[in-house]
Amino acid sequence: MALLKLDSISKRFGTNQVLDEVGFELATGEILGVFGRNGTGKSTLLKILFGTQTASSGLIQVNETRYLVRKTRWSKSAVIESQLIGYLPQFSFLPQGAKVWDIIPTYLTGQKQDLIFQAPRIPKIASRRVGELSMGERRYLEVLLLGNLDHPFLLLDEPFSMVEPLFKDLIRDFLISLKPKKGILVTDHYYQDVWQLADRKMLLKDGKLASVEQLEDLQKAGYLRSIN
Amino acid sequence: MFKFYKDVTLYALLFTLVSIPLAGLYGAVMVFGVFGTPIGLLMFNYFHKHEYYGYYNRGFTRSYLITRTYLVTFIASPVMLIIVFLILKLFSLGALKA
């Protein structure tokens, strides 16, 4: 089992303290859902963790290995080099002009490619260009590509947003299948999808991250107006 | 990694082609070796910035990608220079005349 620990992550944009001494733990075998209103720093937190965003302070630890957060743009991205953490950004990162069957071998080699080529719905889209795929097809392909890499931890920023129900189900089933070997952090404004999927839930508000147990807690914290 | 090199070099070659009327053939090869990669990277940042995340997820940092690309281009330039020299020499000897 691998354990990811975050300690004292702080980030400020001008006078706005977005993250204030934030910390949490994530172990392989669990899915952590992070909720928060727009601008509360969810994506920033994920980027700091992945190493593409700087922070004023903080420590990232995977098992016994410690990584300092990047404090300047010129600092080394040790987390990226370690390949311990995968990150799905909000936007599509795949080359729009490339065909699906050309992209898969650039991510996976040998028999691991078959995990994607034989995944549900992929044979139908394999000959198409990324730019021709629907939002759901593209997001599903991205999650499949990253989920099949060897990172023990996976950070997913809005995997369900604008995705049609059919592909939401496929993404959810795939993430559940990954759970035994990965620790997964999911954040999305489609909160019901995250709520159903996550074993543990946290809310980011006013720069602080706190555990939530019930949907009512999200309402009390002002994240939801009502519970459907 | 190869796709990154291919994308950046494509823009670098386009810039090199445009520079031929001003710099000449030899000069264009020098332009490719020295300015090609920075120009290619600027264009990649403009048109394909999001694709960096695909490389990051496979363990390639931005500095690794840039360094390798610059290195390959820098090494390829003298080879291109020799090829241009040979082609021009063959032309001057009349070997490539129709």
Q: How many CB pairs under 8 A join A and B?
A: 48
Which value does ipTM take for this structure? 0.94
Per-residue pLDDT at B97: 63
| Angstrom distance (rounded) from CA A27 to CA A12 | 28
Q: Which pair of tokens denotes residue A114? A: 């078959």
B-chain residue closest to A88, CA distance = B53
Of A51, A93, A106, the CB nearest to B50: A93
CA-angle at A39, arms to A178 and B59, nearest 5°: 40
A-chain residue closest to B63, CA distance = A76
Which positions in chain B touch A48 (Cβ < 8 Å)? none
Q: Which of A83, A77, A122 lies closest to A103, judged by CA? A: A122
A81 touches chain B (CB under 8 A): yes
The answer to whether residues A144 and A174 touch, using CB atoms and an 8 Å cutoff, is: yes
Q: Which of A58-72, A132-146, A206-220, B23-37 tops mean pLDDT?
A: A132-146
Per-residue pLDDT at B84: 83
- Name every residue in B having a CB less than 8 A away from some CB of A: 3, 48, 50-54, 56-63
The answer to whether residues A153 and A86 touch, using CB atoms and an 8 Å cutoff, is: yes
Rounded to two decimals, the pTM is 0.91
Which residue is it, tokens 């129900």? A165
Beta-carbon contacts of residue A194 (< 8 Å; ≥ 6 apart): A33, A35, A160, A186, A187, A188, A201
Which residue type is seen at B14? L
Residue B96 has pLDDT above 70, yes or no: no
Number of Cβ atoms within 10 Å of the Cβ of A189: 15
Classify burial at A124, counting beta carbons within 10 Å of its beta carbon; exposed 0-12, middle 13-18, buried 19 or more.
exposed
pLDDT in tens, A86-143: 999 999 999 999 999 999 999 999 889 999 999 999 999 999 999 999 999 999 999 9
A-chain residue closest to B48, CA distance = A95
Phi, psi of A103 (to 5 degrees): -75, -40
Classify burial at B83, counting beta carbons within 10 Å of its beta carbon; exposed 0-12, middle 13-18, buried 19 or more.
exposed
The answer to whether residues A216 and A227 touch, using CB atoms and an 8 Å cutoff, is: yes
What is the rounded radius of gyration, in angstroms, for the C-alpha atoms of chain B?
16
The answer to whether residues A1 and A28 touch, using CB atoms and an 8 Å cutoff, is: yes
Chain-wide mean pLDDT for chain B? 89
pLDDT in tens, A52-68: 999 999 999 999 899 98
